[in-house]
Structure 1
Amino acid sequence: MHTIILLDVGNTNVKVGLARPGQGLVSCYALATAPGGSLDTPDAWGLKLLDICRVENVAPGEVGGFVASSVVPPMNPVLARAAQRFFGQEVRFAPGQGPGGIPIPIANSYARPAEVGADRLVTAYAARELCDAPALIVVDFGTATTFDCVLGEAFVGGLICPGVLSSARALATGTAKLPHITLEPGPARADGGLDIGSSTSQSLNLGLIHGFAAMTGGLARRLAQTLLPGRETEVRVLATGGFAQRIAGVCPEVHEVREDLLMEGLWRAWLAAQESPAP
């Protein structure tokens, strides 16, 4: 049974997923995109991917393909050379057409479709495949916080806001007296209220997590009013990304957390391409 390697190339991390027919996504790892501030060589990435396969007891010859979504163009040739040298495989990038690309089976209604980040389109497609609500809002807590809207069978656009981690780093830049930020929401209150921070550390953590939760809830409600006026309760909100679980825990507007939504989208896009191969 061939294993397919899925690559989500982001500005902060590269997520590596392994998926198999009949099983779907079986494991997922996160590696720094540019450790030390510069990109690693194709050989270094090839060895990293080999190490992941060894941990998962997958021989190089059992890898049947690579599918990638990338918002870091300089990484694309690096990963392509790594896959070719160490696995004898081509990397198929999504979205893309022809033998070198993987199409994403969702209509793209952006004013300039080519401007949509690959990650946003793939997660929108995955959400549409997993949920039959008439309209969806996908909130991705990554380097940036994105709100992607799906109406019917089309990606219609969304919002791009600051990210949780980048905001925390911005607070810490040049402020030596600020304590370490753990980004923990603290224990939930029985009355649903918000604790008042009694220390600088607690104030920072509560402010970031609950601040982003309030932003998420408020923007989701407004977007729902725009997507389905008068039928806002039919809009489903899905959260994904590294901080999704923590923020969803204090944001009742989020209906479901799917931490590996983009990986799910890459896997489903690969399956769809197998069923309808490009001419």
Structure 2
Amino acid sequence: MTAPDRTLPFSGSRRQLRNHPWRDYALFFVLVGPNLALLILFVHRPLIDNIRLSFYDWNFASPSRVWRGFGNYREWWHRDDSWEVVRNTVTFTVFAVAGSMVLGLALAMLLDQQLRGRNLARAVIFAPFVLSGAAVGLAAQFVFDPRFGFVQDLLRRVGVTSPNFYQDPEWALFMVTVTYIWKNLGYTFVIYLAALQGVRRDLMEAAQIDGASPWRTFRRVLLPQLRPTTFFLSITVILNSLQVFDLINVMTRGGPLQNGTTTMVYQVYVESFRNLRPGYGSAVATIMFAALLIITVIQVRVMDRADAR
């Protein structure tokens, strides 16, 4: 009996490609080149231009720019309203991310079961995500209106006076946060629902046979299997929540008072297009980009350490 031929089927073609490396490079540039060009043109170049503009003092109506160095950054650091905006941004982001992920997972676990009408319920939950943020914000104004809104009517029926969501800064931020969670709940819900389809049911059944409580099964068996999905959602939801503009612009325009619901991304708009200070607005955008980069790097390292255990 002859020994089996262990030569790889592609060894000849690999040898030919090795003799013609330019073909590899040509194929690489043909496949990757267009996407790379678009990425450089519409992502990297605007980012570099934004960082460069942050070192200038410039007005849109002026043909010339004045070099300011780190003056815009020092001004942002010493302005009192900057830290109020940071507080609004952190508060909104923390509650928006936690609320949408927790509720999304809970609804996904509920509608992953064989329930009557679950497909309709899935569609209803996901529908707000595909709607325009401006349309959702406009509709939410009628929901939270302290005179004739839906929330006011519910509270009146139980004998509670509705807070003035448009005059109290804390209630205004609460209103915007709840509206954002409702609009984007469908995103986390669908991602978690898809992840639940790949959960190992045998592990869940084994835990139940061993007498593990539902909470212990959820914490020790289900959550570890959903860790990659949770990591992915934590990054994308944080990035999306930090870039919310349409809801704030339609519902409160950054108020009440001066900066009641102003976040950093809305401050970029105000400084650049209302106050006509694009240099200072670019500095705020650069600071926000640096913060996002640091948060993402920390999340990646935490995930890597958790996987290494």
**TM-score for both structures, normalised by structure 1:** 0.25
Larger Rg: 2
**TM-score for both structures, normalised by structure 2:** 0.23
More helix, by proportion: 2
Bigger relative contact order (CA 8 A; separation at least 6): 2
